[in-house]
Amino acid sequence: MPSPYRALFTAPGSKAFSAAGFLGRMPLSMMGIGVVTMVSQLTGRYGLAGALSATIALAAALLGPQISRMVDVHGQRRVLRPATLVALAAAAGLLLAAHFAWPEWVLFVCAVGIGTVPSLGAMVRARWAALYRGTPKLHIAYSFESVVDEVCFIFGPIISIGLSTVWFPEAGPLLAACFLAVGVFWLTAQRATEPEPHPRGQRDRGSALRSPGLQVLVSTFVATGTIFGAVDVVTVAFADERGHKGAASLVLALYAAGSCLAGIVFGLLRLKGSPERRWLLGVFMMGVSMIPLLLVGNLPSLAVALFVAGLAIAPTMITTMSLIEEHVPRAQLTEGMTWISTGLAVGVALGSSLAGWVIDAAGARAGYGVPAVSGAVAVAVGFLGYRRLSRPAPGRGGTVEQHSEREERHVA
């Protein structure tokens, strides 16, 4: 690992909370696809499997920001442990209900309960912010966490699907639940790096989503999530039409690998200029990168196109996290970061549904029109909301990059 990344872990406790966050984040990429694999194997009903997966995603999108808001008020340990126990109990109920063929409404109730799973990515980023706020190291930390996200999405589905198909149907979701339990309880046992709660400030300000800048970011990432959800579904169908359905996971892994590589490089750059413009350029590149997907005719060309498209993802996400610091009060940082995940989750559910409808009507190749249109929407929302992003929230100190530039001028 390059030395700037090694330098992150000189802070006491940083290695431990980063490792705990990695384990706790694995269920994000394992649970939904694991439930789909489990239910489809046990019942043969892909419609039911997809509906349960969408229920988990939408419940997490609805409940996640509320849990993170409570974390900002009461602290990570006091909130994450009971929320995780609820999610684990619901996951156990879902596995039992599927195994013993209990009524469908039990499956859906348990799927809603799994939505209480905390956003571990936001929790870990909040710890990095508490350590390195106002320094160039925070940019590197956010870059590192984006790489960790992509690693989870490269290996999580492969592990979950593999276990459920090779071992027993419930194995994938079961391991995801184990990762969640270990990750959350290990993370919350580390009190020294836990950010201080802000009870009074949080209650006085209301929801972080009242920030106009955050509204722009979340709206844009609903469209971005639609891209992700559609690409996943259409790629599986595209590979299936060509008789190589198993290759879809490898092609999608290249999509995540492109983002992972870009995140590593982006974290090493000394950035100058406006982060708002950099963010808008990233959204624009994400949108434009969907156009070549409409022209591909085979899996190798699709793999190349998706790898290139992935290069725009991590830099845009990293810049987004920096902008949240500028537009959301410090007392609501965890909630603000979780709203981005909520926007993505809503978009993924929407993209999956739209793509499935288009595939059924016109075939897989036409399905790539969904991410192309979603990319255009993301660019339009980004341009329309750019002026709001150019105006920081009152009392905010600016982004990581702006802090760094001021520090360099002061030293000079």
Percent of the chain topping pLDDT 70: 89
**Burial of 273 per CB tally in 10 Å (0-12, 13-18, 19+):** exposed
pLDDT the model gives residue 405: 38
Quick check: helix, strand or coil at residue 1? Answer: coil
Task: Give the range with max mean pLDDT: 149-153, 182-186, 226-230, 399-403.
Answer: 182-186
| Helix or strand run (H / E) with residue 62 | helix 46-74
One-letter amino acid at 358 equals: V
Residue 189 pLDDT grade (very low, low, confident, very high; cuts 50, 70, 90) = very high
Would you say residue 27 has pLDDT above 60?
yes
Q: Is the pLDDT of residue 400 over 60?
A: no
DSSP state for residue 298 in the 8-state scheme: S
d(CA 334, CA 5): 23
Kindly give, in sequence order, each residue whose CB lies less than 8 Å from that of residue 249, ignoring residues fewer than 6 positions away: 157, 158, 161
Read off the tokens for 276.
Answer: 């708002």
151 versus 200: the higher-pLDDT residue is: 151
All residues at 6 or more sequence positions from 277 whose CB lies less than 8 Å from its CB, including other chains:
none
Could you tell me which residue, 271 or 136, shows the higher pLDDT?
Answer: 136
Which fold, 12-135+157-197?
A: Growth Hormone; Chain: A; (1.20.1250)
Q: Does residue 396 carry a pLDDT above 60?
A: no
* Higher per-residue pLDDT: 5 or 173: 173
What per-residue confidence (pLDDT) applies to 406?
A: 32
The answer to whether the beta carbons of residues 393 and 327 sit under 8 Å apart is: yes
Give per-residue pLDDT as tens, 113-131.
998 888 888 889 889 888 8
Side-chain half-sphere of 53: how many Cα atoms within 13 Å? Answer: 27
Task: Calculate mean pLDDT across residues 172-187.
Answer: 93
Segment 42-70 shows an average pLDDT of: 80
Q: For residue 189, what are its two tokens? A: 């046992």
Domain ranges in the chain are: 12-135+157-197, 200-412
Report the C-alpha gap between 356 and 237 in whole angstroms.
9
Q: Tell me which CATH code domain 200-412 carries.
A: 1.20.1250.20
Q: Report whether pLDDT(306) > 90.
A: yes
CB 115 within 8 Å of CB 60: yes
Instruction: Tell me the C-alpha to C-alpha distance, in Å, between residue 198 and each of 236, 332, 383.
Output: 45, 8, 34
Using 50, 70 and 90 to split pLDDT, how confident is the model at 331?
low
Least confident of 80-84, 167-171, 345-349: 345-349
Alpha helical stretches, state H, 289-367: 299-310, 313-327, 333-362, 364-367
pLDDT reported for residue 390 = 67
pTM for this predicted structure: 0.75
> Which carries the bigger pLDDT value, residue 182 or residue 172?
182
- Of residues 267, 269, 270, 266, the one with CA closest to residue 407: 270
Confidence of residue 404 (pLDDT cuts 50, 70, 90): very low
Q: To the nearest 5 percent, what fractions of the chain are helix, strand and coil? A: 85, 0, 15
Cα–Cα distance between 309 and 316 in angstroms, integer?
12
Residue 269 φ then ψ, to 5° = -80, 145
Judged against a pLDDT cut of 90, whether residue 94 lies above it is answered with: yes
Contact 81, 185 (CB under 8 A): yes
pLDDT: which is higher, 150 or 282 = 282
Closest CA to 189 of 351, 20, 337: 20
